[in-house]
Amino acid sequence: MIRTVVADDHYLVREGTRRLLEMSGEVTVVGAVGDADELMDAVRRLGPEVVITDIRMPGWQWRQGFEGIDAAHRIRAAHPGVGVVVLSQFADALFAFELFKHGTEGYAYLLKDRVGDLDELLGAIRAVASGVLAYLGPEPS
């Protein structure tokens, strides 16, 4: 079982993702939070193997629009063994570039419309848990 924290400011998305993951039999969701600051605290306290975070979330000291990416970079810097899947509704290569600008190991960028495909979501989780890149978003232009 892969220990995971889910972060999304939309309750239904967060809880729906949690349910999908727990029903898979491969993932244990050890925490579900609603903002970037709570995410950082949950990672520190709960020690997940993987974080799934929305690209945009409230947070008091984060770049507007890049909160999830900033959190991903901070998580990997403080906890290099934690993989991060960033969920986004943006099919813009700028966001993927921003995520991968310091390296690709342990990161995945997944469009939210693919979250309903449990195999793709689990593939991204497995890949980042093993430390490899799992770019599943749009093709860069």
The pLDDT value given to residue 76: 94
> Sorting pLDDT into bands at 50, 70 and 90, what band is 138?
very low
In-domain check, residue 141? no
Q: What is the pLDDT of residues 17-68, one digit of tens each?
A: 999 999 999 999 999 999 888 999 999 999 999 999 998 776 655 555 568 8
Burial class (CB in 10 A: 0-12, 13-18, 19+), 97: exposed
Q: Quick check: is 110 in a domain?
A: yes
The tokens 């290099």 sit on which residue?
A: 80
CATH number at residue 77: 3.40.50.2300
What is the 8-class DSSP label of residue 25?
T
Q: Are 42 and 5 in contact (CB under 8 A)?
A: yes
Predicted confidence at residue 140, as pLDDT, reads 46
- Position 79 scores a pLDDT of 96
- With a cut of 80, say whether residue 136 has pLDDT above it: no
CB 5 within 8 A of CB 11: no
Question: What is the CA 59 to chain-centroid distance, rounded?
Answer: 16
Question: What is the torsional sign of CA 77, 95, 17, 117?
Answer: negative
Number of domain units in the chain: 1
* Structural domain span for residue 119: 2-135
pLDDT in tens, 65-111: 568 888 999 999 999 999 999 998 877 788 888 888 888 889 998 88
> Residue 4: beta bridge partners?
29, 50
pLDDT of residue 141: 45
Tell me the pLDDT band of 135, cut-offs 50, 70 and 90: low
Instruction: Please report whether residue 111 resides in a domain.
Output: yes
Measured CA distances, 125 to 55, 63, 65 (Å)? 16, 25, 23
pTM over 0.85: yes
Query: Pick from 56, 62, 47, 52: which is nearest to 32 by CA?
Result: 52
